[in-house]
């Protein structure tokens, strides 16, 4: 934080839970800017970014657009029938490759990771995400999460339920978080976005982007 008396603590790589690895500052600023530009394109279509409506009628505060497969709660489909009926955009090869690099970075080996779906989430300052599991995938391959823009509090919990024990990790722009192995089905969420913390050099007008890569096994 600027304006504080002491410089920020260096942020170190950490295994938050077995198989859950946080790598601060993994993406270069150039890579982050490329991702911002790519997300802007994906947000326009063929399926436009929007707030997902849940089966119970609730509306998610984050805005989401998918690649490869469309996540329609609570399953993956090829056409976004809950949005405009269009087929989702392909997952670009370079993004799948970035996911493979991420898994190698986290675990030392990419384990043959072949992500075929990405969820791109945009959080404005007020958006958050409740504790949930990523469990619509049939594969047990890890989830790769990339953060860009405003910082957030990422809550990483356990596989039993939404409550404690959990660890709150601050995810900053450029951070990588991979959860697989025994943590693959851990509950996690975003209780808070720290509005206004993103670097203006990213070319965003504020907010936080999160890209998660998954192997659906479908
Ligand atoms: C998610 O759990 O799908 C998103 C997590 C995040 O925004 O960091
Ligand atoms: Fe998730």
Ligand 1 pocket, Cβ-based, cut-off 6 angstroms: 119, 121, 129, 145, 154, 188, 190, 210, 212
Q: How far apart are CA 48 and CA 10, in angstroms?
A: 38
| pLDDT tens digits, one per residue of 163-197 | 999 999 999 999 999 999 999 999 999 999 999 99
Q: How far is the CA of 187 from the centre of ligand 1 (A)?
A: 11
The top-level CATH class assigned to 21-214 is mainly beta
| pLDDT tens digits, one per residue of 8-21 | 778 999 999 999 99
Instruction: Work out the mean pLDDT of the chain and round it to a whole number.
Output: 96
Q: How far is the CA of 44 from the centre of ligand 2 (A)?
A: 23
pLDDT band at 64 (very low <50, low <70, confident <90, very high): very high
Q: How far is the CA of 121 from the centre of ligand 2 (A)?
A: 10
């Amino acid at each position: 934080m600027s304006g504080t008396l002491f410089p920020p603590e260096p942020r170190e790589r950490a295994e938050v839970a077995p198989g859950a690895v946080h790598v601060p500052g993994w993406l270069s600023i150039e890579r982050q800017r490329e991702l911002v530009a790519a997300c802007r394109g994906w947000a326009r279509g063929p399926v436009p970014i929007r707030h997902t409506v849940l089966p119970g009628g609730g509306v998610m505060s984050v805005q989401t657009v998918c690649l490869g497969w469309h996540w329609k709660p609570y399953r993956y489909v090829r056409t976004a029938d809950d949005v405009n009926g269009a087929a989702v955009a392909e997952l670009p090869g370079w993004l799948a490759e970035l996911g493979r690099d991420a898994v190698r970075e986290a675990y030392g080996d990419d384990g043959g990771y072949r992500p075929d779906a990405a969820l791109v989430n945009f959080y404005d300052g007020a958006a958050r995400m409740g504790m949930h599991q990523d469990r619509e995938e049939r594969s047990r391959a890890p989830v790769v999460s990339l953060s860009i823009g405003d910082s957030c509090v990422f809550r990483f919990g356990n596989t039993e339920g939404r409550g404690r024990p959990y660890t709150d990790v601050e995810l900053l722009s450029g951070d990588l978080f991979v959860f697989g192995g025994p943590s693959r089905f851990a509950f996690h969420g975003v209780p808070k976005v720290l509005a206004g913390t993103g670097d203006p050099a990213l070319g965003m007008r504020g907010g936080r982007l999160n890209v998660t890569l998954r192997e659906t096994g479908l």
